Amino acid sequence: MLDPDLIGRTFVGANATSVTQDQINQFAAVIGEENLTVAPPTFSISISLDQSQKLLQDSGLDWSRVVHGEQKFEIKRPIVAGDQLICSSTIESYRVAAGNEIVSVRSDLHAKDELVVSTWSTLVVRA
Amino acid sequence: MSLSTGQELAPKRYLINRALLKQYADASGDQNPIHQDEAFAKSVGLPDVIAHGMLTMALAGKFLSDLNGSAAVVEFSAKFIKPVVVPAGRDVELIVSGKVGEINEGIAKIEITAMCEDVKVLGVAKGAVRI
């Protein structure tokens, strides 16, 4: 179960993730995207899910039972190769329904002071 | 780019198979075995291997990118309401279509429908694209 003291708290990653052209190319290849100058719209999930899991690994959530319920992106500008992105994750809401824990995590990716993308993931920890 | 409110966007077809799940796992870093290992998927109560919800969303994202390029996509959201089951040895068809909603200050809202074998797999899927 989630430690309730963590609701509303923001965890900021210590290290930036460097985006490489190769990562963008690989992601684009999966969906048949031929324009490789910017990352596809959902590319940021490959950074934010992993980073938020690391930031919240001591939260009490059982990540092995997590399923993805809902996802939202607000993209301020597309991610490009060479971006150095710092992830900050906040548990925005939490409830328990029929024994399942339903957690909404907002993760913002910043390049220095510039907000590049905000993502909201609703995660369901199955009972 | 010209879009008008109420316009129906022609459906596009995407094929999902086990090889694509492996490719997406490697590209995204999501190596959860429910997307690759049939025995594991069944052991946790799933009918078979299922696609990453985010793979389905990435393909629906391609549908949005095709309107005016990836750089024009400013918002995208969806609920994962039904799993996309991917049996071994065959392609599963994902059909994505859309309808143009409100257009305001150069940004068009797009309502997206994603169907897999007649089942709606994304709920309230919506994008916003600069036009």
Closest CA relative to residue B13, chosen from B80, B52, B48, B63: B63
Q: What is the ipTM of this complex?
A: 0.95
- Tell me the shortest Cα–Cα distance from A2 to chain B, in angstroms: 21
- Give the mean pLDDT of A100-123: 95
- Give the mean pLDDT of A80-96: 94
Strand partners, A69: none
Residue A43: what pLDDT?
98
* Chain B residues with at least one Cβ partner in A under 8 Å: 14, 20, 23-24, 26-30, 53-55, 57-59, 61-62, 64-65, 69-71, 73-80, 127
For A38, the closest of B14, B70, B78 (CB atoms) is B70
Which is the CATH superfamily of the domain at B8-16+52-130?
Hotdog Thioesterase (3.10.129.10)
Spans of all domains in chain B: 8-16+52-130
- Calculate the average pLDDT of chain A: 92
pLDDT tens string, chain B, 131 residues long: the values are 789 999 999 999 999 999 999 999 999 998 989 999 999 999 988 999 999 999 999 999 999 999 999 999 999 999 999 999 999 999 999 999 999 999 999 999 999 999 999 999 999 999 999 99
Report the chain B residue with the minimal C-alpha distance to residue A31: B59
Pairing of strands A100-111, B73-80: unpaired
Distance CA B19, CA B88 (A): 9
Residue A80: what pLDDT?
98
**CATH 1.10.620.20 is the classification of domain A4-125:** no
* Residue type (1 letter), B57: M
Residue A58: what pLDDT?
81
Tens-digit pLDDT profile for residues A9-42? 888 888 899 999 999 999 999 999 999 999 999 9
| Token pair listed for A29 | 């290849």
- Which residues are CB-contacts of A76 (< 8 A; sequence separation ≥ 6)? A114, A115, A116, A117, A118, B74
Stretch 51-80 of chain A: residues touching chain B, C-beta under 8 Å: 67-78
DSSP H or E stretch at residue A27? helix A21-31
